[in-house]
């Protein structure tokens, strides 16, 4: 767990050996304590270098250990002892120094960093704070404003930035460990007192309170209801106003309030869920670690609408040659200009040059004959998509992968019109595709494991969080959205307003409530889909009661809003009103209020006061209930996959963990009881009927979300 060697006759080289990231597990802490004691007691040793095996200094405390009782030597006294030692200690940082790893570097008297290394205190993203002295030492070293920014955001910085901030002493392009050993030899006998960061006085700005107030307001605005950044600010205040010995106690008290909180558990769950999602597995036994992806050097995108443009940008940014196809010259030219503009702005922001040389724009599908992969992003119309896939079958070489960016249509039906159904897969990007991190990789029943592996790996290359899902209408994300949206509109009928529902959801943690989000996305898309599926418009049987379809409750209010030409932000009117078309400042609209009142009186609905609790329960429990059905149906393999989709694709608040984790935190028994209650009150809403899997899990004693998989005996997994 830590290797001890004597090098150059007098330097103790301590190497952390806990792959893959040399996390500070109890065994590592134990080994480190022993090695440091040996180094400090050995008269031959004049200096110490600490490094990490395999080019990674240290990824911080072992997050897996947070779930159980703390074992092994605590980190703070261990780090304090390193700093207080009489022999110079040099950190040799390669790869990463994160969290406890960064805090370890802060107690070393000197730091050498490889030029590619990244440093940071990401604890806040795990719902905790840098509680191994990080909140006390960093402000002393770099000042309050810079420390506050790093600690409250968890941002990683480059070695060069760390050098500028005074965190590291030297950046090298050579082997950091070798450079550190030479550095250590030169440091022998130099006084250490000024190198002990905890002994420094924090440089304190005169307007400390005002500064802390501003940062507090920013944090509250950015992460509503999230506890950890606020605790970080309090800990940094302690560094400015207390001696180290008291500040470190304050840090520890604040950590104690966070450590066992639901938010910390949720955020740590998210960390692992994201990594679990990459480990897809199929019933055939094919999985992430035994299926080789194909190398993709060139790709083509069909359709340069909003989605297509975003996908082209994502591919070009990943260094892949892209041919973009449109059906008309004018559309092609508009799309081209927009893509170039997007890439140029993006490159400017990142300080790199735009990869415009990778792009080709064409009106001819014939140009696609040699590409490795095609992503179709045409209008959401099955007949049109089928024509495109038939055409692609004829044009592309037999080995080309054919992918569709449909947001919910049958991927297998598209595969069926091609000459290569095994090479067809869904790649469902989220809008705007060059910004949103989520990619649903939709596995059709005939998609080969190599095809799935290639789509997953391409997603990763584009910087996406890819989740493999099965093929059903709406896949995972959009399928679950329906019961959520339905509940929101039913609540409108019953007496709530869009602003009340949005506020309840935003107080819960969503960046935007459901109606503000719908206005942003555009209301016409859903309206068109409802018309096409016969739920509204001229095709509806007039004998149908206005608020029922197929024997279920149906709310026609969204259709009525669209009938008035209110399509959301783009038309300046939707569930809210905006200053102008394209405006973003949502204001409650009295016309919507009138519409709701008239609607209720027309159907003799007596409006009632609806509590925020009911809004949250009905919207979110209906959402999770559909998630349970998705697990039962084998459309998602694990609850983690569903949660990752909601975190990265639908703005579900990370500190709540995702809909499935949230249900487990509320308590499955309670979720079941509330769904039964609401279903009894609304028997014509099948989405409120508790799913058999939820009932089963409750009957099994509500096991932890990580073990639900063992209880899902899906007969026909779609994965
Ligand atoms: C009261 C007691 C506490 C006292 C101490 C409190 C102060 C200290 C707190 C901390 O240090 S909290 C941890 C802070 N560190 C982090 O948040 C870093 C987390 N890791 C990462 O960001 C990345 O993993 C990485 C280090 C940048 C590497 O990224 P890469 O993409 O190369 O690999 P991954 O797939 O992400 O990870 C590989 C593998 O390693 C697991 N892992 C990573 N970091 C940790 C960790 N800190 N603890 C435990 N496990 C870690 C990760 O889960 C992967 O494993 P699998 O999940 O795939 O099995």
Condensed to tens digits (0 to 9), the pLDDT of residues 175-214 reads 999 999 999 999 998 999 999 999 999 998 999 999 999 9
Query: Does the C-beta of 127 come closer than 6 Å to ligand 1?
Result: no
What local confidence, expressed as pLDDT, does residue 715 receive? 59
What local confidence, expressed as pLDDT, does residue 408 receive? 92
Mean pLDDT of 230-258: 98
What local confidence, expressed as pLDDT, does residue 284 receive? 80
Measured distance CA(696)–CA(364) in Å, rounded: 54
pLDDT band at 426 (very low <50, low <70, confident <90, very high): very high
pLDDT band at 539 (very low <50, low <70, confident <90, very high): confident
Q: Whose Cα sits closest to atom 58 in ligand 1?
A: 275
How would you class 528 by CB atoms within 10 Å of its CB: exposed for 0-12, middle for 13-18, buried for 19 or more?
Answer: middle
Residue 542 has pLDDT above 90, yes or no: no
What local confidence, expressed as pLDDT, does residue 532 receive? 84
In ligand 1, which atom is closest to the CA atom of 255?
1
Q: Separation of 270 CA from ligand 1 center, angstroms? A: 12
Q: Separation of 168 CA from ligand 1 center, angstroms? A: 22
Residue 5 has pLDDT above 90, yes or no: yes
pLDDT tens, 124-168? 999 999 999 999 999 999 999 999 999 999 999 999 999 999 999
Residue 478 has pLDDT above 70, yes or no: yes
Residue 652 has pLDDT above 90, yes or no: yes
Both tokens of residue 343? 């890439």
Q: What percent of the chain has pLDDT over 90?
A: 92
Mean pLDDT of 324-329: 97
What local confidence, expressed as pLDDT, does residue 285 receive? 84
What local confidence, expressed as pLDDT, does residue 714 receive? 65
ipTM over 0.95: yes
Residue 716 has pLDDT above 80, yes or no: no
- Phi-psi sector, 541: left (phi>0), alpha (psi -120 to 50), beta: beta
Contact 291, 450 (CB under 8 A): yes
What local confidence, expressed as pLDDT, does residue 543 receive? 82
What local confidence, expressed as pLDDT, does residue 546 receive? 86
Residues marked as catalytic: 103, 123
pTM metric for this prediction? 0.96
pLDDT higher at 545 or 377: 377
Mean pLDDT of 573-588: 97
Measured distance CA(693)–CA(57) in Å, rounded: 44
pLDDT tens, 653-674? 999 999 999 999 999 999 999 9
- 60, 157, 640: residue to mutate for ligand 1 pocket, most atoms within 8 A of CB: 60
Query: Does the C-beta of 27 come closer than 6 Å to ligand 1?
Result: no
Nearest alpha-carbon partner for 461 in 431, 432, 441 = 441
Q: Separation of 22 CA from ligand 1 center, angstroms? A: 9
**DSSP result, 375-435:** EE---S-HHHHHHHHHHHHHHS-TT-EEEE--SSS-HHHHHHTSS-GGGEEEEEE-SSTTT
What local confidence, expressed as pLDDT, does residue 541 receive? 83
pLDDT higher at 672 or 530: 672
In ligand 1, which atom is closest to the CA atom of 122?
17
Mean pLDDT of the chain: 96
Q: What one-character DSSP code corresponds to residue 540?
A: S
Mean pLDDT of 453-474: 97
């Amino acid at each position: 767990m830590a290797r001890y060697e004597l090098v150059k006759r007098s330097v103790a080289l301590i190497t952390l050996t806990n792959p893959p990231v040399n996390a500070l597990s109890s065994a590592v802490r134990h080994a480190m304590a022993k090695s440091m004691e040996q180094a400090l007691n050995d008269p031959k040793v004049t200096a110490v270098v600490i490094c990490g095996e395999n080019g990674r200094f240290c990824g911080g405390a072992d997050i897996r250990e947070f779930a159980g009782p703390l074992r092994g030597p605590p980190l703070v006294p261990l780090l304090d002892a390193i700093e207080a030692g009489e022999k110079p200690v040099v950190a040799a940082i390669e790869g990463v120094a994160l969290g406890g790893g960064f805090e370890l570097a802060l107690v070393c008297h000197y730091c050498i960093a490889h030029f590619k290394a990244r440093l940071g205190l990401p604890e806040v993203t795990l719902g905790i704070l840098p509680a191994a002295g990080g909140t006390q030492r960093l402000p002393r070293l770099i000042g309050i404003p810079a420390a506050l920014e790093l600690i409250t955001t968890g941002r990683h910085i480059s070695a060069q930035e760390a050098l500028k901030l005074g965190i590291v002493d030297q950046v090298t392009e050579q082997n950091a460990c070798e450079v550190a050993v030479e550095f250590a030899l030169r440091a022998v006998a130099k006084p250490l007192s000024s190198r002990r960061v905890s002994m420094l006085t924090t440089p304190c700005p005169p307007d400390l309170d005002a500064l802390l107030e501003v940062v507090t307001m920013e944090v509250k605005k950015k992460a509503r209801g999230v506890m950890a950044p606020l605790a970080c600010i309090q800990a940094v205040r302690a560094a400015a106003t207390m001696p180290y010995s008291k500040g470190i106690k304050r840090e520890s008290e604040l950590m104690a309030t966070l450590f066992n909180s639901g938010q910390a558990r949720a955020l740590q769950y998210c960390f692992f869920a994201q990594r679990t999602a990459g480990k897809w597995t199929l019933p055939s036994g094919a999985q992430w670690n035994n299926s080789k992806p194909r190398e993709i050097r060139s790709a083509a995108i069909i359709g340069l609408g909003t989605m297509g443009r975003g996908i082209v940008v994502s591919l070009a940014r990943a260094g892949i040659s892209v041919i973009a196809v449109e059906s008309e010259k004018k559309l092609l030219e508009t799309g081209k200009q927009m893509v170039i503009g997007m890439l140029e702005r993006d490159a400017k922001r990142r300080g790199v040059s735009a990869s415009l040389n990778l792009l080709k724009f064409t009106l001819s599908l014939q140009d696609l004959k040699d590409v490795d992969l095609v992503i179709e992003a045409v209008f959401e119309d099955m007949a049109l998509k089928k024509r495109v896939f038939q055409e692609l079958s004829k044009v592309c070489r037999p080995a080309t992968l054919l992918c569709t960016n449909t947001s919910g249509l049958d991927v297998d039906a598209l595969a069926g019109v091609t000459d290569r159904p095994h090479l067809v897969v869904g790649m469902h990007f989220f809008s705007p595709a060059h910004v949103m991190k989520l990619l649903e990789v939709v596995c059709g029943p005939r998609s080969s494991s190599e095809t799935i592996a290639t789509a997953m790996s391409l997603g990763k290359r584009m910087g996406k969080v890819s989740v493999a899902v099965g093929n059903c209408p709406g896949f995972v994300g959009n399928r679950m959205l329906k019961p959520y949206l339905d509940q929101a509109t039913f609540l409108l009928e019953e007496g709530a307003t869009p602003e009340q529902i949005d506020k309840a959801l935003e107080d819960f943690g969503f960046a935007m409530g459901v109606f503000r989000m719908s206005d942003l996305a555009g209301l016409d898309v859903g309206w068109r889909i409802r018309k096409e599926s016969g739920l509204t418009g001229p095709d509806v049987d007039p004998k149908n009661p206005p608020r029922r379809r197929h024997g279920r409750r149906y709310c026609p209010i969204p259709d009525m809003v669209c009938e008035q030409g209110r399509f959301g932000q783009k038309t300046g009117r939707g569930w809210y009103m905006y200053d102008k078309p394209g405006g973003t400042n949502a204001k409650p609209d009295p016309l919507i209020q009138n519409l709701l009142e008239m609607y209720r009186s027309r159907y003799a609905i007596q409006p009632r006061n609806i509590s925020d609790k009911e809004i949250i329960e009905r919207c979110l429990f209906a959402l999770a209930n559909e998630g349970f059905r998705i697990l039962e149906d084998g459309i998602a393999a694990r609850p983690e996959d569903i949660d990752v989709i909601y975190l990265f694709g639908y703005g579900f608040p990370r500190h709540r963990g995702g809909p499935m984790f949230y249900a487990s935190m509320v308590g499955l028994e309670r979720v079941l009881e509330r769904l039964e209650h609401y279903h009894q009150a609304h028997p014509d809403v099948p989405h409120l009927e508790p799913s058999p899997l939820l009932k089963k899990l409750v009957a099994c004693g509500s096991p932890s979300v990580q073990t639900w998989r063992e209880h899902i005996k899906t007969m026909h997994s779609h994965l």
